Amino acid sequence: MSISGNNSSGLVVAVSTSQKKGERKENVDRAILKENFGIIGDAHAGDWHRQVSLLAMESIDKMKKNLPHLNPGIFAENITTSGLDLPHLPVGARLKIGDGVLLEVSQIGKECHTRCAIYYAAGDCVMPKEGIFAIVLKGGSVQEGDCVEVIGNVEA
């Protein structure tokens, strides 16, 4: 099912991973996503609903006005995109990345109970308001420059 009125395609700006939860992620050349698991080697991978996190570069750019040192990965997002209105995608929206990786949006934003290392490093955190989380329906490789396309969502 298409998402009507949404010309949704963009690009992967960065791919990032970390060994521990709650800390900024480091940019990597490419990552391998495994079906029903997440990014191999990333602390957030596993059998749960937040296997992969995504944040728009546009969200980071808003923060860069006051904190120009911010770069992709600082908010612990796995995939930084450009050209997509991520926070307004519905749960169930499906994203095709590159040649066939398929993600399904499982959560919009998150609740932060405490201020983590990311908050102190960046001065604020946009993930709770503008980040999205997804499960991996079909695995494969993702790298900077890959096309990201909203291809639809599950039936309600």
In tens, the pLDDT along 4-48 reads 444 489 999 999 999 988 778 999 989 999 999 999 999 999 999
CA 147 to chain centre: 14
Task: Give pTM, 2 decimals.
Answer: 0.86
**Domains, the chain, ranges and CATH?**
9-153 (2.40.33.20)
- Which helix (H) or strand (E) segment holds residue 82: the answer is strand 79-82
Q: Would you state the pLDDT for residue 123?
A: 62
**Are 96 and 102 spatial neighbours (Cβ–Cβ below 8 Å)?**
yes
| pLDDT tens, position by position, 45-69 | 999 999 999 999 998 888 787 778 8
CB atoms within 10 A of CB 115: 10
Q: Find, among 116, 3, 1, 129, the residue nearest to 58 by Cα.
A: 129
